[in-house]
Amino acid sequence: MLFIGILAVMNILMCAPKFFDIAYEINPWMHTDNPVNPSLASTQWEELYNTYTKKLGWKVSLIEPEDGLPDMVFTANGGLVYGQKVVLPTFRQPDRQPETAKFETWFKSHGYSELHKPRYDFEGEGDALFWNDVLFAGFPWRSDKPGHAEIADFLGVRTVSLQLTDPRFYHLDTALTIVNETTVAVYPQAFSKESLKAIQSIVPTVINATDEDAVAYGLNSASDGKRIVIPEGAKNLQEKYRSLGLDVFPVPISEFQKSGGGVKCLTLFL
Ligand code: ARG
């Protein structure tokens, strides 16, 4: 992250929804009989892209979409980046496994020098979020807990494993938002008691999202610490953020939620 004045310039990787579709069902949101409206998906993705680039001045890089890889649009699962180091994804579902090679090629051709392929299942930033120097890592739906130590070792960071308990919130980034250096938001019901306690004991301010916020994918948001981009349906969370003094940018994500994705899933922090 680069600080200009008081605002951070975020570097992001996105992938246009050219081949985005519900071609298989690998989470409770996906139903092949509830197809994506391609032109609406494209409009919504562009609104997110324009919010990042034009309204917030964030820098967005793009990876070429690939025919037959409909979920590549969810770049959060494309890896976990820490300086020049990248932990590549090892997708649990065979349908998404060919994405790894695409992201690997992108990272290699963009100057990332140390790439690591974990032995255990690991779905990138979807299941691993930095809060200051702590790496919160989710399990068990898509990433394996034993892999967290391997990632901690490779990156040289402290990892805190968090157990997700609700299959609707199967990636960590669907149940937890990094808001700023003192604050995170969570959907408490998506975590085991111990994991919720762990978050509360580490982070000074933990905002609890309502059921309504969580179901609107409100936890799947992207923040630079002062400004937050959030699915438009998560009204309560938006109000809470405003009362904390954050600038809030609601965006529509209906087409991506059909696939179990939202703002953060479409975003990989570089
Ligand atoms: N359909 C995708 C899947 O189930 C959605 C991925 C959402 N990504 C995320 N970072 N939560 O894998």
Residue-wise pLDDT tens digits, 92-151: 999 999 999 999 999 999 999 899 999 999 999 999 999 999 999 999 999 999 999 999
User: Would you say residue 1 has pLDDT above 70?
Assistant: no
Question: What digits encode the pLDDT tens for the residues 10-39?
Answer: 999 999 999 999 999 999 999 999 999 999
Residue 6, pLDDT score:
52
Q: Which atom of ligand 1 is nearest to the CA of 93?
A: 12
The answer to whether 171 is a known catalytic residue is yes
Residues having CB closer than 6 A to ligand 1 are 26-27, 30, 71, 74, 76-77, 96, 126, 171, 173-174, 259-261, 265
CATH 1.10.530.10 fits 11-269, yes or no: no
Residue 4, pLDDT score:
46
Residue 31, pLDDT score:
98
Cβ neighbour number for residue 51 with a 10 Å cutoff: 18
Confidence of residue 9 (pLDDT cuts 50, 70, 90): confident
The answer to whether 148 is a known catalytic residue is no
Residue 82, pLDDT score:
96
Q: Which two tokens stand for residue 86?
A: 């990248």
Q: Which whole number is the average pLDDT over 77-87? A: 97
Confidence of residue 41 (pLDDT cuts 50, 70, 90): very high
